[in-house]
Amino acid sequence: MTLEKLVTDLTTSGSETLDAAKLRELKQLCKNDSTGKAAISEAFALLLAALHKTHAQIRVSALQAINAVFERSHAFRLLVIGSLPQILALTMGAYQKSLPPPAGHARRLRALGAECLYAWVQRFGFAYQRLVYALRFMRFTERVDFRPAARAFKASDPARVAQRRRMAAASRREYMRRTVGAVVADFADRKREVARNIACLDNCFEMLVPDLADMFGSGEDKGGGGRKEPGGELGR
């Protein structure tokens, strides 16, 4: 079966889910060493053409196929990211682009677009920053609510979510450790500086204000005779 026939069958079946056997065949063609690069480029062009169809259900199937290959192929991901604004417009109505009927499948297309973009960011955003920028744009400029997509991602990939949670917790602990260490070191430096300033102030006060004992005497006879009895001199 040719790649064009395969993509056509996948995207025009009218089914809510893709044919598993044909999807495996598409992945295999894109993975094959001899036909991989050419097949990836051709598959992407065919799927992008399917996204331009004026039927929302065909676009849903095309996006499902794009998502399946996207998760398996770096070369395919680069092609998708290179055409990301166009894909966002065709699947989520970005840039005031209207989606085709039927209305029910158009809503499904918009929701699936949000789910795919959110999952791509979670899985590949660390390596492809344009995905992160795209999600921010859709969230803050196009006002797309990604909370349903986040819930769908957590339900579909709990192991990855748990791993990211552990990594985030470890990152927070490391950040707190470094922050506390920096605060302790800074406090020690400031403590030494305060001690030096106090010693300097003490010296200044000693220079400016004489000791009271030096000014008025200690109250003892410095001649060493001790306290004299009254009239002692006269009694001799």
Residue 236, both tokens: 């001799």
Task: For the chain, give the number of residues.
Answer: 236
| Segment 42-91, tens digit of pLDDT | 999 999 999 999 999 999 999 999 999 999 889 999 999 999 999 999 99
Q: Which residue bears the tokens 């009694």?
A: 235
CA distance 54 to 67: 20
| Segment 37-54, tens digit of pLDDT | 888 999 999 999 999 999
Q: What is the pTM of this model?
A: 0.68
- The share of the chain scoring above pLDDT 70, in percent, equals 83
Q: What is the DSSP letter of 229?
A: P
* pLDDT number for residue 175: 76
Peptide bond into 101 cis (omega under 30): no
CA distance 217 to 236: 29
| Segment 125-165, tens digit of pLDDT | 989 999 999 999 999 999 999 999 999 998 887 776 677 67
Q: Check if the beta carbon of residue 135 is closer than 8 Å to that of residue 94.
A: no
Among residues 117, 67, 61, the alpha carbon closest in space to that of 88 is found at: 117
CA distance 208 to 210: 7
